[in-house]
Chains A and B, each alone.
Chain A
Amino acid sequence: MAPALCAICNDSRALIIRPKNHQKLCKACFVAIFEAEIHHTITTTSLFSPGDRIAIGASGGKDSTVLASVLKTLNERYNYGLDLVLLSIDEGIKGYRDDSLETVKRNAVQYDMPLKIVGYDELYGWTMDQVVEAIGKKSNCTYCGVFRRQALDRGAKMLGIKHVVTGHNADDVAETILMNLLRGDLPRLARSTNIVTGDESSEVRRSKPLKYAYEKEIVLYAHHKKLDYFTTECLYSPEAFRGSARSLIKNLERVRPSAILDVVRSGEDMAKLVPEQVTGISQCKSQKVSLSSADGEEEGAGGCGTNGRDSGGEMADMEKKLKEDEKASSREVDITSAVSSQTSGQRHDRIPIKPESGKTRKQESSRKLTRQTLGTCKKCGYMSSQEVCKACVLLEGLNKNRPMIEIEVDAADEESSTLRRNMEGLALAAG
């Protein structure tokens, strides 16, 4: 059988099966269509204006390396008139960033772009290694993720740059959509589908030009363009909550390659269906502009292999919290209908799978939908939807040498979980 020819040029031999649609392409046509598609995304969403200075969040990983390479190519090819800068964050994890930062340094030379490296120590006074020393390995990804988001924006601000682009790809976006469905977080779901977060009035906007690009195609592009990137997972990368959504996405892709794109599409459509009282922003506005993701973990934090989330205990934690909420709401009824003792308060023998126990009332407040509006943190002045931004809350805990959010594996440890909830309550009250 003669070798298949490229479906686009009909000339060269097809060497690549496009992961997105299983089209058979030659190498040159694949590279060309990949770039053309990113260009299409950039132009149809008017992502950039001539003269913009753009910071590329660079981790040395495949996504950000491909982003830097493609942006450089397109900037020259189509005269975007952009001033591109590489911006890297040094979390201070020995043995992890050492190598990836070397990669970024080489990229800076290869792409002839200036490079700025910002360390957690200079921003927060803590390196990740120190954080881990203080709190253990359990929930450090929360810290890392929250710190990193701000770090990119603060680094950009230092450089006087108002727009940061990150390497989030379609797989990341799809994963975030499913994850937020599982976590029941519609505001984050809605926000994560936007290609740009923040607007003209924000100090720093963020965007993800690779939003529609499949991870597999990014890998193929990096391979065929022989890009210099670094593959390793974060040393501390845990079995993440995201992992559940991630493996689901990978399986969906195998069953139906279009599924990743279809999830992204569903997410965009669902964002329009999220009621205003849930997002706190009007619908027409939410399509174009949204809250800054300053203190959110709605996206995978670029550069961290499995994307910084809490340990696998997070699902168990949420299950526990939901159960308590449910109990709390059934207790609400108890109090109004029958002021009986707790044991006889088990009037619902029809609802036998919900065990009674004390100390559930304080959970009630957390059931209410929190209305989110954009403001600034009163501590650091940084964009936040809370009064005190999450980074400051975490820092306060660290500085007291006492973690705010601790993920326990041992659910039997009632005392410490009560303590934890009390502390969360305090944190909420303070916020």
Chain B
Amino acid sequence: MKKQPNKSALNLKCFCLYVATKTVKRMETYRVRGSTIKDQRKLLLPLSFGPSSSSLLQILDQHIEGQYARMNRSGYELFVVHIDVFLDPADRKDASELLEKYKSRFSRHTYSSFGLEKALLLDGIDWKALDVPGPEEAESKKPATERLQHLLGSMSSATSRADIASTLLTRLLVDVAKRHDCESILFGESTTRLAEKTLTETAKGRGFSLPWQVSDGASPYGIGFNYPLRDLLKKELVTYTSLTSPPLAELVIFQEKSSNISASSKTTTIDDLMVQYFESVEENYPSIVANVVRTSSKLKSLTGNDNKGCGLCGLPVAEGTDGIYGWGGDQNSDSRPAREDDQYGVLCYGCSRSING
């Protein structure tokens, strides 16, 4: 066995520097040098309070501080956004209190938070396809949180619920970013998370969307997607939260170990299974985790401008590949519903699977 330096034996500073260096290297586009104050860029940082996004905030906060110290200005500013996915008022209160703590600790940045139900107001979504009333009609009826609960509750499985919720979350983030003139979204996803995502999206029939889900660069939404933590493992970031000073751990909400997830439970999702799977792979084979991400990042999106956007996730759907019917695996010659006219939008395979079961 080769000597593997034990992390606890390392100089703590070294480890934190390692984590920060790997992250900052990915932020090279946002250096101060060469930029003028005028085009200081605004970047949206989605903060879930988990170890990864919290670490990203801490690292970039220090990065910006360093830029100020050296050049008296910074190459970018952060707009930190928390999306409340829990609908319970008590959870919401906890979340807003926690966000206040972040604000006071990293006071340089602007903060905002939104409930996921705000996604119901988005007009880029084909609400008819989801069988829920659009923003205009629904305004006066039930409260938005209830409508969201109803929408998610109507899904046929826990996986579909989680899938639709995360799709709405992405669309809401994009919308918030655009309305606040952000150039890019800095996702706090680690290598491990991106590997999970590669397999999760594959398992949900969203293989076509991988080029936009794991690679840095322009997204089809007309805004950049960046993953500055893409070279760090989740376990490294968890370690970072307790080693950085002052420690972040007290601000972070850690997920429970997923080892007791059972595939026979009704509430278990595909996402849960992948988290569990990569937790064990990361433990023993960290390079394989990184290799999965390198591999999926090699996939190239097909260039075709005439592709319609999916009515729910908004990603381009190649002609004739929409929906779950009418492809080889459907094996039923007359299952593809006839389209009367073009007024119906298309749904991609993955969204269609979640909605139609």
Contact = CB atoms under 8 A, between A and B. Distances in A.
Contacts of A248: 199, 273, 277
A274 B206 CA distance: 15
Contacts of B287: 318-319, 322-323, 326
A255 B263 contact: yes
Contacts of A353: 4-5, 7, 18
Nearest to A278: B298
B298 A274 contact: yes
A37 B332 contact: yes
Residue of B14, B331, B350 contacting most chain A CB atoms (<10 Å) = B331
B43 interface: no
A315 B288 contact: yes
Contacts of B291: 182-184, 318, 322
B18 A355 contact: no
B32 interface: no
Contacts of A258: 205, 324, 353, 357
A366 interface: no
Contacts of B211: 273
Contacts of A261: 205, 329
A411 B300 CA distance: 37
A405 to B, nearest CB: 19
Given A44-B328, A265-B327, A181 B292 contact: yes
B203 A252 contact: yes
A68 B97 CA distance: 66
Contact of A352 (B10, B270, B292, B295): B10
A429 interface: no
B3 A355 contact: yes
A266 B301 CA distance: 14
B170 interface: no
Nearest to A323: B287
Chief secondary structure at chain B's binding surface: helix
A42 B1 CA distance: 52
B292 A186 contact: no
Interface in B1-55: 1-5, 7, 10, 14-15, 17-18, 21
B157 interface: yes
B27 to A, nearest CB: 16
A220 interface: no
Given A264-B329, A270-B207, A275 B270 contact: no
B269 interface: yes
Given A273-B301, A352-B15, A254 B290 contact: no
B284 interface: yes
A267 B298 CA distance: 14
A229 interface: no
Contact of A411 (B1, B14, B199): B1
B203 A263 contact: yes
Contacts of A274: 298-300
Nearest to B210: A270
Given A184-B295, A251-B263, A40 B288 contact: no
Interface centre among B202, B277, B288, B333, by most chain A C-beta atoms within 10 angstroms, is B202
A45 B328 contact: yes
B113 interface: no
Interface in B282-328: 284-288, 290-292, 294-296, 298-302, 321, 324, 327-328
B210 A273 contact: yes
B199 A254 contact: no
Contact of B2 (A263, A275, A352, A355): A355
A182 B196 CA distance: 11
Given A195-B328, A252-B273, A269 B207 contact: yes
A351 B18 contact: yes
Contacts of B204: 259, 262, 266
A177 interface: yes
Contacts of B263: 250-251, 254-255
Contact of A319 (B268, B288, B302): B288
Contact of B18 (A264, A265, A352, A357): A352
B289 to A, nearest CB: 9
A256 B296 contact: no
A430 interface: no
A270 B208 contact: yes
Which of B3, B21, B198, B329 has the most chain A CB atoms inside 10 A of its CB?
B329
Given A262-B203, A270-B208, A353-B7, A256 B328 contact: no
Contact of B268 (A181, A255, A349): A255
Which of B14, B277, B284 is the most central at the interface, judged by chain A CB atoms within 10 Å of its CB?
B277
B331 A269 contact: no
A191 B324 CA distance: 23
A272 interface: yes
Nearest to A411: B1
Contacts of A185: 295
A352 B236 CA distance: 12
Interface in A266-288: 266-270, 272-275, 278
B264 interface: yes
15 contacts: A36-B331, A44-B328, A182-B292, A212-B329, A248-B273, A258-B205, A259-B204, A264-B329, A269-B207, A270-B202, A273-B211, A319-B285, A322-B287, A350-B21, A355-B2
Given A36-B331, A177-B202, A411-B2, 11 more contacts: A182-B288, A248-B277, A258-B205, A258-B353, A259-B270, A268-B207, A273-B300, A316-B285, A322-B290, A350-B17, A350-B18
Interface of A: 36-38, 40-41, 44-45, 170, 177-178, 181-186, 195, 211-212, 248, 250-252, 254-256, 258-259, 261-270, 272-275, 278, 315-316, 318-319, 322-323, 326, 349-353, 355, 357, 411-412
